[in-house]
């Protein structure tokens, strides 16, 4: 029989001897009676690391698709499917916390003293996931006023540096949007048409507020001020110089052209050729949302388990984890696009030849 088709056994294929003998309870080595729930604690975190490995595998494959100057648009559906796989894994990571919480705070105290100074903060794979997605080092909360890589060995630091030096998924997406041809039309000036539509929408809102017979004059004034604030944000998008100022201040990460391309995709997402790009950008937002949910859920679990105690690795525990949910955001620019959306009824009508260009148009001639 060819070596290529030699038989393999389930047990050896999965290397179960290694996998199932990798749970070494410190309480068993240091106490006469091991802490029962330490087994659960170890297995839960090992499962996390296995899923992190799969997420890294998926992100790497997507990054390859977006490298270079040319993107095979047919691969976007594959990228979407792999992002959706990551999202399903993230859901599992969140649900897994429910299993962890079958261990009570008192159960955890039976072996917590043996964990110092180990901490989830030392998960190399999770830091790689953050770097590959696009979290910048300067954006990170410091760990006990120290750089986030201080807890890693020299070799691990090299791996982290490589993950930071490589183009992140965020950067690759920005480059891809910069290259999109959606804004280059001979007979349709998207930005000009969009600006007129926004001005019309804002004026309708002002007219509706002024015409209301149930709002007090003070409330009308407040509402009109809010509309003014919204239109001010729109104005920044109409002015490349103002947008660049926002970028320099760190308020946005996208380039001006990338933001306009994303906006066009979101506004005209029903056009056949734009449906997959829209799904891809939406899945990136889902990943961001799942990350935030996981961080918040993790923080609540820590609060339940140790209250306001310091974490085993020396962090502030719950407070640190809660803060990362707010600060460690990556694809925030896609959420900014929601501010710029307008009702379908106000959407500029595309010229017929452009609609054909954005459709799967076939002719028998």
In degrees rounded to 5, what are phi and psi of residue 143? Answer: -100, 105
Q: What pLDDT is recorded for position 3?
A: 66
Question: In the predicted model, what is the mean pLDDT of residues 360-365?
Answer: 50
Three-point CA angle 219, 220, 223, nearest 5°? 85
pLDDT bin (cut points 50, 70, 90) of residue 230 is low
- ∠ CA 270-274-277 to the nearest 5 degrees? 125
Q: Is the pLDDT of residue 361 over 60?
A: no
In this predicted structure, what is the pLDDT of residue 228? Answer: 67
Residues 140-150: pLDDT tens digits?
A: 987 777 788 88
Question: Average pLDDT for residues 339-350, to the nearest whole number?
Answer: 90
Burial class from Cβ neighbours inside 10 Å (0-12, 13-18, 19+) for residue 73 reads: exposed
Average pLDDT in the 146-173 region? 94
Strands in 180-225 per DSSP E: none
| Of 235 and 136, the one with more pLDDT | 136
Measure the CA angle with vertex 321, ends 317 and 324; round to 5°. Answer: 145
Domain ranges of the chain: 18-357
User: Which region among 14-18, 28-32, 268-272 has the lowest average model confidence (pLDDT)?
Assistant: 28-32
pTM over the 0.85 mark: yes
- pLDDT value of residue 364: 44
Whole-angstrom distance, CA of residue 313 vs CA of residue 161 = 22
Distance of alpha carbon 105 from the chain centroid: 31
- Counting Cα atoms < 13 Å in the Cβ hemisphere of 155 gives 0
pLDDT digits (tens, 9 = 90+) for 124-133: 999 999 999 9
pLDDT at residue 84, as a whole number: 98
CATH topology (fold) of 18-357: Methane Monooxygenase Hydroxylase; Chain G, domain 1 (1.20.58)
Please give the pLDDT value at position 363: 47
For 237-295, the pLDDT digits (tens) are 888 999 999 999 999 999 999 999 999 999 999 999 999 999 999 999 999 999 999 99
Q: Which residues contact 45 (CB under 8 A, 6 or more apart)?
A: 120
**Does the structure show a pLDDT above 80 at 134?**
yes
Mean pLDDT across 201-218: 91
Tokens of 83: 């992002």
Nearest to 23 by CA among 54, 58, 47, 53: 47
């Amino acid at each position: 029989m060819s070596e290529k088709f030699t038989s393999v056994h389930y047990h050896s294929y999965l290397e179960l001897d290694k996998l199932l003998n990798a749970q070494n309870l410190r309480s068993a080595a240091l106490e006469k009676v091991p802490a029962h729930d330490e087994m659960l604690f170890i297995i839960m975190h090992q499962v996390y690391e296995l899923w992190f490995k799969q997420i890294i595998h998926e992100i790497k494959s997507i990054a390859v698709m977006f490298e270079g100057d040319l993107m095979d648009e047919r691969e976007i559906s594959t990228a979407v499917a792999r992002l959706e796989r990551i999202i399903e894994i993230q859901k599992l990571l969140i649900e897994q916390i429910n299993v962890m919480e079958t261990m009570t705070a008192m159960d955890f105290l039976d072996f917590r003293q043996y964990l110092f100074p180990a901490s989830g903060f030392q998960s190399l794979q999770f830091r790689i996931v953050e770097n590959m997605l696009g979290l910048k080092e300067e954006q990170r909360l410091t760990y006990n006023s120290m750089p986030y890589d201080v807890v890693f060995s020299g070799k691990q630091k090299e791996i982290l540096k490589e993950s930071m030096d490589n183009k992140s998924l965020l950067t690759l997406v920005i480059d891809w949007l910069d290259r999109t041809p959606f804004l280059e039309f001979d007979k349709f000036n998207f930005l000009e048409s969009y600006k007129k539509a926004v001005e019309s929408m804002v004026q309708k809102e002002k007219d509706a507020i002024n015409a209301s017979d149930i709002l007090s004059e003070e409330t009308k004034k407040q509402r009109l001020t809010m509309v003014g604030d919204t239109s001010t944000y729109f104005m920044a998008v109409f002015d490349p110089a103002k947008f660049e100022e926002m970028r320099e201040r760190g308020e946005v990460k996208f380039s001006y052209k990338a933001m306009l391309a994303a906006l066009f995709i979101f506004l005209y997402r029903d056009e056949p050729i734009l449906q997959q790009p829209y799904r891809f950008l939406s899945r990136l937002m889902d990943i961001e949302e799942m990350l935030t949910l996981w961080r918040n859920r993790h923080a609540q679990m820590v609060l339940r388990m140790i209250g306001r105690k310091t974490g085993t690795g020396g962090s502030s525990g719950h407070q640190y984890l809660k803060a990362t949910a707010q600060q460690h955001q990556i694809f925030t620019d896609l959420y900014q696009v929601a501010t710029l959306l307008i009702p379908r009824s106000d959407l500029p009508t595309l010229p017929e030849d452009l609609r054909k260009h954005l459709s799967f148009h076939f002719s028998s001639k």
